[in-house]
């Protein structure tokens, strides 16, 4: 494919520890929800998490607003991590996936995703709300990799078949662009090609140069 001159990014890269913690929390959640009885190991984990929560609360900025725009040069506020792609890598509330942009114009993409137990709705089935999150993620990831993205204005899903957990699934995406709008369509399929879910998203075609300034991470001596 033709690589865009500038990928769409807005924010800073996640810390390596943040990525490691996200994967651990997702996997531990799977294990905890599968337990038959209360467990001493979980009780120890609860105690440790409470201790860690209290210690980290004293180290992060008290102001929860992201340091972007007017706050970019502020001594307060929190760092904003780039949400352009791979949000699940650093936030366990989002699914992980792999995605590759295809075609000479980059208007097609495909990839794979496996939903863990943490995203269960009906027994053994992915909760439909997470499928909406998933398609919004991968479609905007596609837009960002091509270099033209913007805010989602609509997202419509059609649930064709139950989507299984713990199973590698394939997805494919297509996008088109006019002066003001990006339209993306996508499908999620089983290994045998059976279509499980379809989606259509519309987004504003934004201007990367017009995005507000984003503050870099502050050194230890400038944190408050």
Query: For 83-107, what is each residue's pLDDT tens digit?
Result: 999 999 999 999 999 999 998 889 9
Query: For 71-85, what is each residue's pLDDT tens digit?
Result: 998 889 999 999 999
**Phi and psi at residue 179, to the nearest 5°:** -65, -25
The list of the chain residues with pLDDT below 70 reads 1-5, 220-224
Number of helical (H) and strand (E) elements in the chain, helices listed first:
3, 6
Task: Give yes or no for a contact between 181 and 223, defined as CB atoms under 8 angstroms apart.
Answer: no
**DSSP string covering 19-82:** HHHHHHHHHHHHHHHT-SS--HHHHHHHHHHHHHHHHHHTTS-S--SBSBGGGTT-SSSB--B-
C-alpha to C-alpha distance for 131 and 128, rounded to whole angstroms: 5
Percentage of the chain modeled with pLDDT above 70: 96
**What pLDDT was estimated at residue 219?**
77
Domain locations in the chain?
16-210
Tokens (6 digits) for 41: 């190991």
**Phi and psi at residue 51, to the nearest 5°:** -65, -45
**What pLDDT was estimated at residue 222?**
56
Select the CATH number that applies to the domain covering 16-210 from these four: 3.10.129.10, 1.10.8.50, 3.40.50.360, 3.30.390.30: 3.10.129.10
Tokens (6 digits) for 62: 């008290």
**What pLDDT was estimated at residue 5?**
56
Closest CA to 2 of 112, 110, 101: 101
Beta bridge partners of 176: 183
């Amino acid at each position: 494919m033709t690589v865009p001159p500038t990928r769409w990014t807005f924010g800073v890269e996640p810390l390596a520890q943040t990525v490691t913690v996200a994967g651990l929390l997702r996997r531990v959640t799977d294990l905890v929800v599968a337990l038959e009885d209360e467990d001493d190991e979980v009780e120890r984990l609860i105690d440790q998490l409470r201790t860690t929560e209290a210690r980290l609360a004293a180290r992060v900025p008290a102001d929860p607003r992201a340091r972007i725009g007017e706050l970019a040069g502020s001594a307060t506020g929190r760092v904003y991590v780039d949400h352009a792609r791979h949000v699940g890598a650093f936030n366990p509330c989002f699914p992980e996936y792999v995605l590759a942009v295809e075609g000479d114009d980059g208007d097609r993409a495909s990839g794979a995703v496996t939903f863990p137990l943490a995203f269960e709705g009906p027994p053994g089935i992915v909760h439909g709300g997470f499928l909406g999150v998933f398609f919004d993620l991968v479609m905007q990831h596609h837009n960002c990799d091509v270099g033209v993205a913007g805010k989602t204005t609509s997202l419509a899903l059609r649930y064709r078949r139950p989507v299984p957990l713990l199973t590698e699934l394939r997805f494919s995406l297509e996008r088109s662009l006019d002066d003001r709008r990006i339209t993306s369509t996508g499908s999620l399929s089983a290994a045998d090609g059976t279509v499980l879910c379809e989606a259509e998203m519309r987004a504003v075609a934004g201007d990367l140069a017009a995005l507000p300034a984003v503050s870099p991470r502050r050194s230890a001596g400038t944190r408050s």
